[in-house]
Amino acid sequence: MTEPADWHAVSGDIRRAVHAVAKDGAEYSARLLYRSARSLMRRLGIHTPAELYEVLRQVFWNSDEHVSFGDHLSVGFGESSRQRQVRAFVAEHPCEPKSVLAMEYERAYGFSAGIAAIWIDLFADSEDVSVLEWLGIETEEVGNDASPEGVQGRAETTDSNTGLASAVEEFCARELTGDICDARLVRSRFAYEFPAATGAAIDIDRLFAAAGFFEDRDLLFRVGKTPGEHFARLIGSRSSFTRGDSGFEDAVWRHPAFRHALQLARDDHRIMLYEPNSYISFSRLHDVLGVRMSDIESYAVSVSAVVPEGVPFTIVSLRAGTTSTQALDAIELPDSFYEGLLDASGLFSSCILAGVRVFAVGLEGRMSANWLVGWLVSRHEGVGRDALQRLLRDELGVSCPTANLVTAIHNSGVFHDDVEDVYYSSMDTWKKEVRNELAK
């Protein structure tokens, strides 16, 4: 992500992108704000909604635009009220079932359908909702003693129950989101937030059931569907995903029903593997964008036909330097998708420098960052270190930190002219250059 010091220079672009979507008096998730301007955000070095949330906190810090920040990556504009917003949304869709409402709320404001369903349950009615009653958690009966001590006791109990209800509401809204949750993680957080003295009256299993979840193999699933159905829906809801992404953590990946659903989706050609533990929906490539399987299978071959043999390239330089009409070139997918297709084809040698995969055709064995630096120096004899950094950035789209570059230079075997502080591909090349200079 771009350094924080740079945000003031692009804050105008970010503000315009956000205000193009956000309305005054409304609360949105940074997920929606990120999706609405994905290309701009990537260009600015913002790669996730969570990163955008932190950037917005800096951009709007100490401003007079009345922007507030809350849980679930919430960004509120003007005099926003979550309760009022949910009630108004439900009133605008009077005949919709709750599950449909929750998904529509997610599309409108970016919050997950799971958390939206909880908010709809809590806020949709105009009357106040008892969270303890909603969760099915019993509270201690209080007698009808009219003495001052009895009145005070009832008041203290009421305050205690109200505080517990508020804490339980906040916990459920934060932890029991979506249709699938990590049960072990939820339990550990519950034990931390509700110590024995406070949480003894709350049966965590009953809380799960009251909130509409059942447990299976360390995961919580929303009641109404089997684990396999939940996983099939999860896989179908994402255009691309990788192990470790939100919703695809290790606990999910280990569940046998998930692995079965994943295999079924692959067998049915609904998703395709493009690098280890990374998948993309074929429906996005085919149905939505018109890409055929033949386009995918021929991508690496078409690239090998347009790049010069022995010349390094990256997806960034390939995109900037060719006029290919290959169907995949028009799709906004992560660079790792295209890198995976090239790497899996076996037609290219490759190496990774500063997190970017660099390819070349016609080299025996695999490339290395050291070879890449040596190749650049041989093309630009007498180049300085700063100029070498610029060449990597301008020609290949690789922003290489100085420390990484110094290491690669040292291991590449190039010759360093410590007088001029420049590099040559070899000592013989340097001697030849010196003789030419002396002969002038």
Mean pLDDT rounded to a whole number for the chain: 78
Distance between CA atoms of residues 352 and 370, nearest Å = 10
Instruction: Quote the pLDDT of residue 257.
Output: 92
Looking at 80, 112, 142, the residue that finishes a domain is 80
410 within a domain of the structure (yes/no): yes
218 with 135, same domain: the answer is yes
* 126 in Cβ contact with 87 (< 8 Å): yes
10 with 62, same domain: the answer is yes
Nearest to 37 by CA among 25, 27, 55, 52: 52
134 with 172, same domain: the answer is yes
Helix axes 293-306, 335-345, angle to 10 degrees: 80
DSSP string, 98-152: HHHHHHHHHHHH---HHHHHHHHHHHSSSS---HHHHHT----------SHHHHH
89 within a domain of the structure (yes/no): no
Distance between CA atoms of residues 270 and 83, nearest Å = 39
399 within a domain of the structure (yes/no): yes
254 with 179, same domain: the answer is no
322 with 259, same domain: the answer is no
388 with 353, same domain: the answer is no
From residue 297, how far is each of 32, 77, 304, 338 by CA, in Å?
Answer: 33, 47, 13, 12
**Two structure tokens written together for 372:** 């890449």
Distance between CA atoms of residues 41 and 300, nearest Å = 28
261 with 306, same domain: the answer is no
CATH classification of the domain holding 63: 1.10.10
DSSP annotation of 313 reads B
* 267 in Cβ contact with 302 (< 8 Å): no
Q: How confident is the model at residue 437 (pLDDT cuts 50, 70, 90)?
A: confident
Instruction: Quote the pLDDT of residue 142.
Output: 42
Residues 6+ apart with CB under 8 A from 188: none
140 with 190, same domain: the answer is yes
From residue 400, how far is each of 62, 310, 397, 412, 437 by CA, in Å?
Answer: 34, 21, 9, 15, 32
354 within a domain of the structure (yes/no): yes
93 within a domain of the structure (yes/no): no
First-to-last alpha carbon distance for the chain, in angstroms, is 49
pLDDT average, residue stretch 385-393: 90
Q: Which of 64-68, 356-360, 406-410, 427-431 has the lowest mean pLDDT?
A: 64-68
Looking at 312, 328, 360, the residue that finishes a domain is 360
The pLDDT tens digits for 163-210 are 666 677 777 777 777 788 888 888 888 888 777 645 555 677 777 777
Distance between CA atoms of residues 105 and 102, nearest Å = 5
**Two structure tokens written together for 119:** 């908010």
Per the model's pLDDT, the better-predicted residue between 133 and 433 turns out to be 433
Asked whether residue 322 carries a pLDDT value surpassing 80, the answer given is no
Instruction: Quote the pLDDT of residue 165.
Output: 64
3-class SS at 352?
A: strand
106 within a domain of the structure (yes/no): no
Asked whether residue 246 carries a pLDDT value surpassing 50, the answer given is yes
- H or E element, residue 198: helix 196-199
Q: What is the total count of domains within the chain?
A: 5
Looking at 206, 222, 238, the residue that finishes a domain is 222
386 within a domain of the structure (yes/no): yes
212 with 145, same domain: the answer is yes
- Whole domain around residue 324: which residue ranges? 293-360
303 with 327, same domain: the answer is yes
The whole model's pTM is what?
0.42
110 within a domain of the structure (yes/no): no
420 with 379, same domain: the answer is yes
**Two structure tokens written together for 12:** 């105008």
65 with 134, same domain: the answer is no
Residues 315, 321, 323, 324, CA torsion sign: negative
From residue 21, how far is each of 35, 80, 271, 383 by CA, in Å?
Answer: 10, 15, 31, 47
Percentage of residues of the chain with pLDDT beyond 90: 5
